[in-house]
Amino acid sequence: MTIETVKLQSSGYLINGNMNVPNDPANRHYVMVQEWIAEGNTPAPEFTDAEIAANAQAKVNSESLAYLASTDWYVTRQAETGVDIPQDILTARAEARVAII
């Protein structure tokens, strides 16, 4: 096996994009990674800047969607009974919609 890429992971390394190697000196692939590093190579970070940004946005999307879902009953109540939606809720829902990409 030829090592093309190595990426750090929380519990080891990701080799060639598909092999998860644990931090175990008895693992032959772990030994190969150490030899690869000793040759002067450097593993890539676990997450690229783009991946960090994407993960953060995914979290924002998820939290915003969850907030909208949890406050949908205000909208339903307004439609059925005419009771107004509190302004702070309306503001927060608008912010949540904008935050979702």
Partner 1 sequence: MSNARNIAALSTVEVGATADQTKADLNAIGVSGGRKNLIMNGGFDVWQRGTSYSGGSGAYTADRWITIGSGLRDTIKASSTIGGAFVSTFKMTATDTLSYIGVQQKVEATYDYSATVTPTYIASAWVKSNTIAQLRHYDGASNVYSTPHSGGGAWEKLTLLISGRTATSATENTLAVDSYNTVTVVGDYIEFTQVQLELGSVATDFEHRSYGEELALCQRYYWQGKLSNGQGTRYAYGTAGAGKGAGSVTFPVTMRADPTISAVTAANYNNCSHDTYSYSSISGFSHGVTVTVAGSYRAYWGVYQADAEL
- 22 vs 45, which CB is nearer to partner 1? 22
Least distance (Å) between residue 67 CB and partner 1: 11
- DSSP per residue, the chain: -----EEEETTEEEETTTEEEES-TTSHHHHHHHHHHHTT--PBPSS-HHHHHHHHHHHHHHHHHHHHHHHHHHHHHHHHH-PPPPHHHHHHHHHHHHH--
- 27 vs 71, which CB is nearer to partner 1? 27
Least distance (Å) between residue 55 CB and partner 1: 6
- 25 vs 40, which CB is nearer to partner 1? 25
